[in-house]
Amino acid sequence: MAMIINTNAAALNAQRNLSTTNSKMGKTLEQLSSGLRINRAADDAAGLAISEKMRAQVRGMQQGMRNAQDGVSMLQTAEGALDEVHSILQRVRELSVQAGNSTLSSSDRQAIGEEMVALRAEVDNIGTRTRFNGLSLLNGSLSVGLAGASTADAVTSVANGATVSVASIDVGNAEGGRTYALSNVGAVLTATTTAAGYTRAETFTVQDMGANATQSVTFEELGVTLNLTHDANAGNVTGAGIATSFDGSTVVTTAASAATFRVGSEVGDDISLSFDDMSSGALGGASKLDALIANNNAVSTTAEADTLLASVDEAIQQVSTFRAKLGARQNQLETAINSLGVSVENLSASESRIRDADIAQVSSDMVTRQIMQQAGVSVLSQANTAPQSILRLLG
């Protein structure tokens, strides 16, 4: 074995191994101090990329849960206000029944009319001042309606002496300011809308209809529903014939937009609700309450009382229907919150398995690194002293 002074190969080897051990020891201490297995991309490039995607999704879902909780509060605000509107309408109905009695004098009827005017004004006040974070909830500003440019509402399908017509079109869950074009292939009816260069389409297979039948052609994702009705004639109208009648027609929504609650981490994870106008000018069916209760002469005759009674019944039904929608959406939001909670839990666990350090394993590794480090220092010390034996040859 050659004895060399200038190059101490044994010391170089010991130094290289000790440097490697020190580097591993540093990473081990870093994992212990941070609690993370991946502290930089170099630790696990693929794992970092996957975990960052999961982290983005988790944080998006957590925000979606907060959005849904805000939505529940918003719905509760509107529903609480409508509870008082219901009470007012019940009182107006009670007064209408009283005014239908012929035992009342004209002054009695005016006194009843005065109370009705005050109650009608309070309905409008509630609609004006019911707000959530500055957003008016009951004045129609958060509702989507059918615009006058629509042509689908006038479509009829005639066959075998019978007629199918459009009873109503529900666009409460559709986007505001949109045009939905209808086309068909046989009985399959397609609704298409384009905005900002992005086209969305949805299909529905129309069923045959017989005497007095009804059918809802629902484009659920687009939020458009065509409610169809068949007259009393016995003739059958095929689904293909009905769909063909709608070919080329349009459903156009008003510019106002419905309330949208983003309850997820991605575009489209939304729950929408159109907040109906609950003012006296929108309640009452064909005869609105604001016109029937314009002054204290609203029930000056029993005939006027009867007309008002029918209108109030319709108003009560409108408020009941909208409150039911609010309740259904609140339940949907609460279900979404529960579902998001489960998803956040599972995704967080998945992200943890990729990114977090197993402290037990890292602690065990640290003991190994410490022993290797101490052994490396000892070996390097001995390797550095080995060339000194050459001095004996020179003595």
Q: What would the two tokens of residue 252 be?
A: 């156009």
- Residues 77-123 have pLDDT tens digits of 999 999 999 999 999 999 999 999 999 999 999 999 999 999 999 99
The residues facing 182 across adjacent strands are: 191
Average pLDDT estimate for 355-377: 86
- For residue range 125-183, what is the model confidence (pLDDT) as tens digits? 999 999 999 889 998 888 888 888 899 999 999 999 999 999 999 887 788 889 999 99
**What average pLDDT does the structure give for the chain?**
90
Selection from 13-27, 31-45, 116-130, 273-287 with the highest mean pLDDT: 116-130
Q: In the predicted model, is pLDDT for residue 25 greater than 70?
A: yes
Q: Reply yes or no on whether the pLDDT at 395 is more than 70.
A: no
- Residue partners of 387: CB distance under 8 A and separation at least 6: 3, 4, 5, 8
Return the domain boundaries, the chain: 36-141+263-356, 144-257
Percent of the chain with pLDDT over 90: 62
Residue 192: pLDDT over 90: yes
Number of neighbouring beta carbons within 10 Å of residue 349: 11
pLDDT at 346: 94
Report residue 142 as tokens.
């958060």
Q: Is 231 helix (H, G, I), strand (E, B) or coil?
A: coil
How high is the pLDDT of residue 217? Answer: 95
* Other C-beta atoms lying within 10 Å of the C-beta of residue 127: 23
* pLDDT at position 267: 83
Instruction: Reply yes or no on whether the pLDDT at 16 is more than 80.
Output: yes
Contact 219, 210 (CB under 8 A): no
Asked if pLDDT for residue 243 goes beyond 90, the answer is yes
Architecture of the domain whose range is 36-141+263-356? Up-down Bundle (1.20)
What gap in Å lies between CA 136 and CA 67, rounded to an integer? 18
Tokens (6 digits) for 200: 């969305």
> Residue 259 belongs to what H/E stretch?
strand 259-262
pLDDT tens string 291-324: 999 999 999 999 999 999 999 999 999 999 999 9
pLDDT given for residue 1 in this prediction: 56
Q: Is the pLDDT of residue 394 over 80?
A: no
Q: What are the distances in angstroms from CA 373 to CA 124, 363, 364?
A: 81, 15, 14
- Region 45-56: mean pLDDT is 92
The DSSP secondary structure of 114-162, one letter per residue, reads HHHHHHHHHHHHHHHH-EETTEESSSSTT---B-TT--GGG-EEEETTE
CA 207 to chain centroid: 30
Q: Residue 48 corresponds to which tokens in the numbers above?
A: 């970092």
pLDDT at 5: 75
Strand 188-195 relative to strand 270-273: parallel, antiparallel, unpaired?
unpaired
Angle at 20 between CA 19 and CA 22, to 5 degrees: 65
Q: What is the pLDDT of residue 249?
A: 95
Q: Please give the single-letter amino acid code of residue 114.
A: E
Lowest mean pLDDT among 148-152, 208-212, 383-387: 383-387
Q: Is 7 helix (H, G, I), strand (E, B) or coil?
A: coil
DSSP, res 237: B
Report pLDDT digits (tens) over 53-80.
999 999 999 999 999 999 999 999 999 9
Residue 138 phi, psi dihedral angles, 5° rounding:
-120, 20
3-state helix, strand, coil in the chain (%, to 5): 55, 20, 30
**What is the pLDDT averaged over residues 273-297?**
90
In this predicted structure, what is the pLDDT of residue 156?
Answer: 94
Query: Could you please report the per-residue DSSP string of 90-105?
Result: HHHHHHHHHHT-TT--
Looking at residue 201, what is its pLDDT? 94
Mean pLDDT for 234-257 is 91
For the chain, list the strands marked E by DSSP.
Answer: 131-132, 135-136, 156-159, 162-170, 179-185, 188-195, 198-205, 214-219, 224-230, 250-252, 259-262, 270-273
Query: How much is the average pLDDT of 271-294?
Result: 89
